[in-house]
Amino acid sequence: MVWISGGVFTMGSDHAEALPEEGPPHRVRVDGFFIDTHEVTNAQYAEFVEATGYVTVAEKPIDWDTMRDQLPPGTPKPPDEQLRAGSVVFRQPAGSAPGGWEWVVGANWRSPEGPGSSIEGRLDHPVVHVAFDDALAYARWAGKRLPTEAEWERAARGGLDNAVYVWGDTPVSDAEPRANIWQGRFPDRNDAVDGYASTAPVGSFEANAWGLFDAAGNVWEWCSDYYRADLYARRAGDMAPADVLVENPVGPVSPWSPGRELEPLRTIRGGSFLCHQTYCTRYRVSARTGEASDTGTSNIGFRCAMDPN
């Protein structure tokens, strides 16, 4: 872990590529904290599971009663096959196959692409297919916690206030990758110029100024906060953004995002290996979105934080 000193920074962005949920930029103060230099790896998660016998959400059959509460009233129960244990995997289009996101029975952290796949040879890659509670359970076992969204952004910025990326303002280039993101034409051509068509071993790219690896790309990272798309606007209220100073924010008391009102959304940050400049630039340091806390995918992982005492 590395120590991130307490201080004030600008959270959010009004950059041309910033989305509405990233603004207005405003000042935030956080106390000092420790944070992992890299995302939790398959090897680390395997150690936790071996020690505790923990079973992840993706390894359990889906509870229809719980799922129904997150869907519009009257949604019919899906076939039993679709309620078997599994997770969401991105499949690149091939031939006439459409590709895209697909529910794969048997996909989980041990089998990232589904049955027949494994983490053999990928123990130093970030663990994926971990839902929010799976990340939280690991953090507690390790004597740590998940970072708040504000802590995550302060650490990821590495002191570069108002910078677009964790490395500064130099634009992204497919020819000279600075992070594990998509090169080529999304979603049908992955040139993998950076050497990785999927996840990369942690630390494969240069760390930011404060020693964090993969704060841009590789996998999205869970934060402890509920996700609200209008959070920053609510913080500013009637004040000018320059007059706002939020002390140690821990996120809203409930989640909300248009069209996803029933989902238990938690904040994820950092983008992933599926981001590309032509459609998704959420590897930008201010970018934020939400994911249902009971959902794991092939491009979501996490890193941990810890208080000084």
pLDDT reading at 308 higher than 80: yes
pLDDT of residue 15: 94
Q: Give the tens place of pLDDT for each residue, 274-290.
A: 999 888 899 999 999 99
Task: Specify whether the CB–CB gap between 193 and 175 falls below 8 A.
Answer: yes
Of 56-70, 112-126, 188-202, the one with minimum mean pLDDT is 56-70
pLDDT reading at 156 higher than 90: yes
Q: Rounded distance, CA 308 to CA 2, Å?
A: 11
Average pLDDT over residues 126-138: 98
Q: Rounded distance, CA 46 to CA 141, Å?
A: 12
Q: Rounded distance, CA 13 to CA 9, Å?
A: 12
Q: Rounded distance, CA 58 to CA 106, Å?
A: 8
**Terminal-to-terminal C-alpha distance of the chain:** 14
pLDDT of residue 96: 66
Q: Give the tens place of pLDDT for each residue, 35-52.
A: 999 999 999 999 999 999
Tell me how far the alpha carbon of residue 249 is from its chain's centroid.
Answer: 19
Q: Give the tens place of pLDDT for each residue, 82-129.
A: 788 999 999 988 776 677 999 999 999 999 999 999 999 999 999 999
Q: Rounded distance, CA 298 to CA 280, Å?
A: 17
Instruction: Work out the number of other CB atoms within 10 angstroms of the CB of residue 141.
Output: 14
Q: Give the tens place of pLDDT for each residue, 211-265.
A: 999 999 999 999 999 999 999 999 999 898 889 999 999 999 999 999 999 899 9
